């Protein structure tokens, strides 16, 4: 299972080290709506103390959640980039930066990952498909309805005053609606269109 990469523009470097508050805020604003941008593009640029700062949208294969490093994932995110010495020309230097290796000093911001049953949403997409025949084949004899209850995603109370977000599993196409405040999954849908239709019908503003 691979995660498509979008190489950082040649010569540009990922900001590493302490990040000024205005840049952090700009990056987080983009991160919170990252799927509004195309992968492999600059979402925006700003001028900070006379230096151009770019915000690059790409897939991320790692992130930190509550201080814990998570790997083996494929999520959208934004990286803070600074131009090569002498200007933003891609020919200024052959240097090629990347974010393939986890680096706590890198200014990269991955989209939030919802939790399913208390576990971060990097679950095995084949779990639901294989659990039922595996258990039956082992002769445990649990009823099908009971098994489905074991793997059913939590259905939590909804409040239109809360913020909700849609998160798509890139391998299965399943879309999860989750509450932003605690990142708990409300329910799942077969497609983003189905999720948006359901949200509209229930008066929920999900992004």
Give the pLDDT of residue 154. 40
Q: Which carries the bigger pLDDT value, residue 114 or residue 7?
A: 7
Exposed, middle or buried by CB within 10 Å (0-12, 13-18, 19+), for 174?
Answer: middle
Give the pLDDT of residue 55. 97
Q: Residues 137-159: what's their mean pLDDT? A: 43
Q: In sequence order, which ranges of 138-177 are alpha helices (DSSP H)?
A: 144-151
Distance, CA of 182 to CA of 128 (rounded, Å): 24
Q: Which carries the bigger pLDDT value, residue 125 or residue 92?
A: 92
Q: Are 67 and 84 in contact, with CB atoms under 8 Å apart?
A: no
pLDDT, tens digit, 9 for 90 and up, residues 30-86: 999 999 999 999 999 999 999 999 999 999 999 988 888 988 889 999 999 998 776
Q: Where are the domains of the chain?
A: 13-110, 115-201
106 DSSP β-pair partners:
16
Exposed, middle or buried by CB within 10 Å (0-12, 13-18, 19+), for 203?
Answer: exposed
Half-sphere exposure of 207 (CA within 13 A, CB side): 14
pLDDT, tens digit, 9 for 90 and up, residues 83-123: 877 655 555 446 889 999 999 999 999 998 654 443 444 33
């Amino acid at each position: 299972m691979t995660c498509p990469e979008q190489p950082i523009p040649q010569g540009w470097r990922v900001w590493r080290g302490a990040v000024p508050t205005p840049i952090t805020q700009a990056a987080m604003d983009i991160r919170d709506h990252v799927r509004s941008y195309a992968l492999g593009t600059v979402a925006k640029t700003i001028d900070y103390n006379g230096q151009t700062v770019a915000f690059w949208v790409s897939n991320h294969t790692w992130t930190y959640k509550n201080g814990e490093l998570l790997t083996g994932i494929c999520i959208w995110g934004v990286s803070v980039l600074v131009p090569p010495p002498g200007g933003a020309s891609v020919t200024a230097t052959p240097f090629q930066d990347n974010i393939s290796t986890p680096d706590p000093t890198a200014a990269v911001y991955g989209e939030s990952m919802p939790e399913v049953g208390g576990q971060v949403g990097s679950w095995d997409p084949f779990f639901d498909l294989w659990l039922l025949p595996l258990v039956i084949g082992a002769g445990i004899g649990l009823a099908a309805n009971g098994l489905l209850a074991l793997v059913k995603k939590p259905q939590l109370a909804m409040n239109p005053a809360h913020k909700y977000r849609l998160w798509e599993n890139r391998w299965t196409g399943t879309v999860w609606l989750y509450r932003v405040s605690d990142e708990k999954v409300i329910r799942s849908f077969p497609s983003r269109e189905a999720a948006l239709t359901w949200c509209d019908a229930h008066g929920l503003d999900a992004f």
